[in-house]
């Protein structure tokens, strides 16, 4: 099948590679414009663009697909993208974490006679966690299951009919990084299954989403990263794991903003004393025990400013020796 692919991050590139490896032809790639990143703030291509260039796939990078944009330059980009989509020969469009809204006129092009429409890979069990950050919000909320839906797209925000769905368990030590990898593999497998099904002439059964149980996964903000030690150990543990790798949970001690990358709830009896929220209660073999508003959390992996990730035990030994009581707190 001939595919137009729209996506931007590594999660999308994983699916793009699987589609290509399965023998389908990607005739055009849509991805967001190059962004400045890294210490040197150099322009960097998205993972989808990098793969497209590797395979000599034509690439479009409009700022928007809305042809009625008030910005003349953006409007011209959208017009050109629409023109190329209208003229190119393709069977279906696959959209994965693109980051731009597909207006109805673009969806209409993919639904013309002889085409199968647009399909989206969404990393949740819809209608739970529609929106930008379903992986992080699932961990933060303590969900025990998630999965991937292949959705026939409409103009709404992740509201289209589901055509394939598969579940995954969320493990107690899951981070967004580890869950992202597993869901990317599952999503790539499912979209290939869907395209193979269409190619063989089989119809995909469309199932409307339930009207109850709808939740929205709002975009993760850096302002959410700072740990509130008055929360329970369970809530803090979930947030630390949900915000790994972005934006990374933070808290201050001795005028240093430390990052917290991994954790777990401390076992009963692991510490014999209690303290104030944010207070270091002691070190474990690899970690560190910190008092929370309710319960104790064992921090497993931390990072000093400008340093590397390391076990919390090693990271905190040098800090703990400078004060009798080491306490983490919000930035002042």
Q: Mind listing the pLDDT tens digit of every residue in the chain (332 residues)?
A: 999 999 999 999 999 999 999 999 999 999 999 998 767 778 899 999 999 999 999 999 999 999 999 999 999 999 999 999 999 999 999 999 999 989 999 999 999 999 999 999 999 999 999 999 999 999 999 999 999 999 999 989 999 999 999 999 999 999 999 999 999 999 999 999 999 999 999 989 999 999 999 999 999 999 999 999 999 999 999 999 999 999 999 999 988 999 999 999 999 889 988 999 999 999 998 899 999 999 999 999 999 999 999 999 999 887 765 556 789 998 87
* 83 lies in the same domain as 150: yes
What's the pLDDT at 324?
66
Mark which of 217, 250, 268 sits at the end of a domain: 217
For residue 329, being part of any structural domain is answered with no
Helix (H) or strand (E) holding 65: none
Mark which of 166, 191, 217 sits at the end of a domain: 217
* 299 lies in the same domain as 186: no
What's the pLDDT at 82?
96
* 255 lies in the same domain as 182: no
Structure tokens at 45: 């291509």
pTM: 0.93
For residue 139, being part of any structural domain is answered with yes
Indicate the SS3 state at residue 302: strand
Query: Are 6 and 92 contacting, i.e. CB atoms less than 8 angstroms apart?
Result: no
CA atoms within 13 A on the CB side of 71: 9
* 59 lies in the same domain as 195: yes
What is the number of structural domains in the chain?
A: 2
* 16 lies in the same domain as 159: yes
* 112 lies in the same domain as 183: yes
Structure tokens at 19: 């589609």
DSSP assignment of 23-45, as one string? T-EEEEEE-PPPEEETTTTEEE-
Measured in degrees and rounded to the nearest 5, phi and psi for residue 239 equal: -70, -40
Measured in degrees and rounded to the nearest 5, phi and psi for residue 185 equal: -65, -45
Strands 130-131 and 216-217: parallel
For residue 175, being part of any structural domain is answered with yes
Structure tokens at 28: 């055009």
Mark which of 183, 217, 251 sits at the end of a domain: 217
* 182 lies in the same domain as 288: no
Angle, alpha carbons 131-132-137 (nearest 5°): 90
* 174 lies in the same domain as 315: no
Angle, alpha carbons 140-245-191 (nearest 5°): 80
**Which residues 6+ apart lie within 8 Å of 39 measured at CB?**
none
* 196 lies in the same domain as 241: no
Q: Is 48 exposed, middle or buried (0-12, 13-18, 19+ CB in 10 A)?
A: buried
Task: Tell me the pLDDT tens digit for each residue of 129-167.
Answer: 999 999 999 999 999 999 999 999 998 999 999 999 999
For residue 120, being part of any structural domain is answered with yes
* 123 lies in the same domain as 202: yes
What's the pLDDT at 203?
87
Cα–Cα distance between 21 and 26 in angstroms, integer?
11
What's the pLDDT at 95?
98
Backbone CA torsion sign across 121, 183, 310, 285: positive
Cα–Cα distance between 220 and 217 in angstroms, integer?
9
CATH code at 311?
Answer: 3.10.25.10
For residue 326, being part of any structural domain is answered with no
Cα–Cα distance between 145 and 143 in angstroms, integer?
6
* 210 lies in the same domain as 242: no
**Domain encompassing residue 244:** 222-320
What's the pLDDT at 322?
55
For residue 328, being part of any structural domain is answered with no
What's the pLDDT at 191?
98
CATH code at 179?
Answer: 3.40.50.170
* 31 lies in the same domain as 153: yes
Query: Are 110 and 136 contacting, i.e. CB atoms less than 8 angstroms apart?
Result: no
Cα–Cα distance between 161 and 207 in angstroms, integer?
5
């Amino acid at each position: 099948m001939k595919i137009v692919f729209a996506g931007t991050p590594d999660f999308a590139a994983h699916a793009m590679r699987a589609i290509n490896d399965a023998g389908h032809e990607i005739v055009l790639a849509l991805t967001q414009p190059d962004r400045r990143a890294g210490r040197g703030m150099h322009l960097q291509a998205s993972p989808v663009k990098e793969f497209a260039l590797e395979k000599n796939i034509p690439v479009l990078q409009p700022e928007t697909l809305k042809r009625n944009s008030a910005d003349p330059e953006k409007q011209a980009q959208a017009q050109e993208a629409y023109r190329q989509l209208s003229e190119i020969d393709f069977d279906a469009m696959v959209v994965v974490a693109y980051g731009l809204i597909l207006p109805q006129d673009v969806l209409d092009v993919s639904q013309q006679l002889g085409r199968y429409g647009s399909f989206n890979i969404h990393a949740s069990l819809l209608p739970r966690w529609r929106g930008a950050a379903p992986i992080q919000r699932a961990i933060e909320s303590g969900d025990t299951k998630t999965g991937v839906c292949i959705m026939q797209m409409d103009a709404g925000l992740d509201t289209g009919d589901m055509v394939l769905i598969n579940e995954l368990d969320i493990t107690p030590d899951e981070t967004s990084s580890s869950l992202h990898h597993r869901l990317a593999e599952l999503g790539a497998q499912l979209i290939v299954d869907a395209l193979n099904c269409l190619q063989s002439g089989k119809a995909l059964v469309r199932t409307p989403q339930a009207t109850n149980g709808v939740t929205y996964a709002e975009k993760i903000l850096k302002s959410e990263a700072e740990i509130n030690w008055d929360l329970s150990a369970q809530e803090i543990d979930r947030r630390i794991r949900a915000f790994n790798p972005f934006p990374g949970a933070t808290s201050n001690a001795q005028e240093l903003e430390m990052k917290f990358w991994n954790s777990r709830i401390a076992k009963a009896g692991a510490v014999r004393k209690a303290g104030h929220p944010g207070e270091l209660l002691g070190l474990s073999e690899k970690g560190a025990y910190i008092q929370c508003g309710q319960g104790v959390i064992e921090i497993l992996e931390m990072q000093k400013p400008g340093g590397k990730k390391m076990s919390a035990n090693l990271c905190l030994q040098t800090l703990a020796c400078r004060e009798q009581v080491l306490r983490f707190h919000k930035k002042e």
